[in-house]
């Protein structure tokens, strides 16, 4: 008897237009880039492949990774594994916000990844001079400032509500904002030596740090909600004349929350962690881009 054919769930691509009609602080721009978003959406699924937990976590960066194994790709999240540390600090950690450091929080998060069977990861680039070459790490202070900036809060909340959808909770959102305001009062202490995190990652997980090539030219932001899939970013760029996309596998943030907080009593912790992770991702895009990129969401029907 033949094995039954596995039914493939339909996947939708939703075009939400530009990230913003306002000018964001970042320098990466899609101004003047001509994209047929309708045509691109029709073939976008061809560039998504299976992602396994044991495969090295990637950043949302759309630049070329010469050592990327296109048949063995890890999920994309801002800042790689260390990026989750700030979400934990703002959303979940019950310690006094006037204590602790980003480096210590990142070290703890990397160790958590290893302990629960997820492969941490991060990156440098081939042109960085005064940083490690990862915008989500180098610009972490600017990210926090964007998240709590009164001039950006309407845009930030709009996108948080959109990406979180039914998971959006006003109280969780305000709690994370409040924690960000408290942390802002001690950025020099908390983020001291934060660029050493990539060295720490290499020590904790040898082979987990890649070196990206070229300049930022991301004209798209693609938020992926289809579990256990990720973008084949090198191939996408190569087959679209160098077009780059920031890719955020939001499903990984939800998966990580369920792994870090597995008990029924930890439901609020899970929600707050994902809320903080999404809020930081949006703020990272604000710090990196001018808001002109097209936003696409990939989700199961």
Domain count across the chain? 1
Q: Kindly compute the dihedral angle of the four CA atoms of residues 169, 180, 291, 65, in this order, to the nearest 10 degrees.
A: -100
pLDDT score at 130: 53
Tell me which residue range forms the domain holding 236: 11-300
pLDDT score at 131: 57
What is the per-residue pLDDT across 7-60, written as a single tens digit (0 to 9) for each? 556 899 999 999 999 999 999 999 989 999 999 999 999 999 999 888 888 888
- Average pLDDT (124-144) is 72
Query: Could you tell me if residue 144 is inside a domain?
Result: yes
Residues in Cβ contact with 32 at an 8 Å cutoff, skipping those fewer than 6 apart: none
Query: Could you tell me if residue 210 is inside a domain?
Result: yes
Tokens of 41: 């959406």
pLDDT score at 9: 62
What percent of the chain shows pLDDT beyond 70? 93
Per the DSSP assignment, residues forming a β-bridge with 11 are: 300
pLDDT band at 132 (very low <50, low <70, confident <90, very high): low
From 13-22, 55-64, 89-98, 264-273, the region with the lowest mean pLDDT: 89-98
Is the pLDDT score of 129 beyond 60? no
Is the pLDDT score of 2 beyond 70? no
Query: Could you tell me if residue 5 is inside a domain?
Result: no
Length of the chain (residues): 301
Per the DSSP assignment, residues forming a β-bridge with 124 are: 211
Buried b (16+ CB within 10 A) or exposed e, 20-30: beeebbbebbb
Query: Could you tell me if residue 249 is inside a domain?
Result: yes
| 128 and 116 Cβ atoms separated by less than 8 Å | no
pLDDT score at 5: 45
Can you give the pTM of this predicted structure?
Answer: 0.92
Q: Cα separation of 204 and 275, whole Å?
A: 27
Mean of per-residue pLDDT scores for the chain: 88
Residue tagged 């994209």 (tokens): 35
Query: Could you tell me if residue 6 is inside a domain?
Result: no
- Average pLDDT (80-85) is 80
What is the per-residue pLDDT across 47-57, written as a single tens digit (0 to 9) for each? 999 998 888 88
Write the DSSP string, 43-107: HGGGGEEEB-TTSPPB-S--SB-TT--TTSBPPB-TTTTTHHHHHHHHHT--S-TTS--HHHHHH
- Exposed, middle or buried: residue 132 (CB in 10 Å: 0-12, 13-18, 19+)? buried
Cβ neighbours of 293 (radius 10 Å): 28
What is the per-residue pLDDT across 60-74, written as a single tens digit (0 to 9) for each? 888 888 878 888 899
Report how far apart the first and last C-alpha atoms of the chain are (Å, whole number). Answer: 31
pLDDT score at 59: 86
What is the per-residue pLDDT across 158-173, written as a single tens digit (0 to 9) for each? 999 999 999 999 999 9
What percent of the chain shows pLDDT beyond 90? 58
Q: What is the DSSP letter of 141?
A: H
Tokens of 127: 């042109």
Is the pLDDT score of 4 beyond 50? no
What is the per-residue pLDDT across 195-249, written as a single tens digit (0 to 9) for each? 777 788 888 887 777 778 778 889 999 999 999 999 999 999 999 999 999 999 9
Query: Could you tell me if residue 164 is inside a domain?
Result: yes
| 135 and 72 Cβ atoms separated by less than 8 Å | no
């Amino acid at each position: 008897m033949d094995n039954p054919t596995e039914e493939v769930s339909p996947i939708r691509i939703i075009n939400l237009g530009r990230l913003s009609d306002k000018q964001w602080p970042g320098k990466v721009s899609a101004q003047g880039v001509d994209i047929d978003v309708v045509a691109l959406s029709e073939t976008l699924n061809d560039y998504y492949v299976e992602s396994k937990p044991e495969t090295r976590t990637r950043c949302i960066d759309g630049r070329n990774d010469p050592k990327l194994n296109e048949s063995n790709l890890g999920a994309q999240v801002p800042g790689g594994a260390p990026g989750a540390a700030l979400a934990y600090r703002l959303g979940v950690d019950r310690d006094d916000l006037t204590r602790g450091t980003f480096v210590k929080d990142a070290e703890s998060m990397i160790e958590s990844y290893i302990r629960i069977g997820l492969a941490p990861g991060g990156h440098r680039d081939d042109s960085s001079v005064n940083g490690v070459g990862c915008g989500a790490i180098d610009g972490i202070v600017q990210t926090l400032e964007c998240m709590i900036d009164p001039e950006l809060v309407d845009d930030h909340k709009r996108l948080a509500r959109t990406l979180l959808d039914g998971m959006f909770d006003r109280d969780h959102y305000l709690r994370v904002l409040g924690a960000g305001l408290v942390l802002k009062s001690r950025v020099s202490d908390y983020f001291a030596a934060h660029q050493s995190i990539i060295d720490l990652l290499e020590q904790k997980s040898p082979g987990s740090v890649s070196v990206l090539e070229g300049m930022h030219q991301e004209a798209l932001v693609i938020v992926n909600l289809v579990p256990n899939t990720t973008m084949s970013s090198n191939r996408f760029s190569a087959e679209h004349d160098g077009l780059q996309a920031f890719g955020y596998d939001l499903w990984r943030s939800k998966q990580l929350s369920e792994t870090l907080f597995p008990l029924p009593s930890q439901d609020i912790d899970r929600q707050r962690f994902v809320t903080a992770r999404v809020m930081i991702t949006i703020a990272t895009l604000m710090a990196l881009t001018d808001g002109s990129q097209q936003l696409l969401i990939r989700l199961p029907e």
